[in-house]
């Protein structure tokens, strides 16, 4: 089985989806847990707000790259061929 770049993007999309859902859960129902200290790092409510904005942007970008974008003809992506440029 061949593991392509699109497959790696799909795995990353799942990880980012988990982060996105976690930050939305924390922002809507988990406010009593903030600020949260992990080691020497304190995660505040305003930092969670930025994460609630940033992670969905990353998520939708990865969804586009992994599923919606068409393979490039010039590179032969997905066909097993390698483009030669001179």
Q: How many C-beta atoms lie closer than 10 Å to residue 48's C-beta?
A: 21
Residue 11's pLDDT is what?
96
- Whole-structure pTM value: 0.76
Query: Which positions of the chain have pLDDT values less than 50?
Result: none
Q: How many C-beta atoms lie closer than 10 Å to residue 22's C-beta?
A: 14
């Amino acid at each position: 089985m061949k593991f392509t770049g699109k497959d790696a993007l799909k795995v990353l999309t799942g990880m980012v989806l988990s982060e996105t859902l976690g930050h939305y859960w924390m922002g809507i129902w988990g406010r009593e847990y903030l600020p949260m200290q992990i080691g020497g790092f304190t995660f505040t409510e305003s930092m969670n707000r930025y994460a609630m904005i940033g992670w969905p942007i990353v998520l939708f970008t990865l969804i586009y790259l992994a599923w919606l974008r068409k393979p490039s003809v010039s590179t032969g992506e997905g066909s097993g061929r390698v483009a030669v440029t001179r």
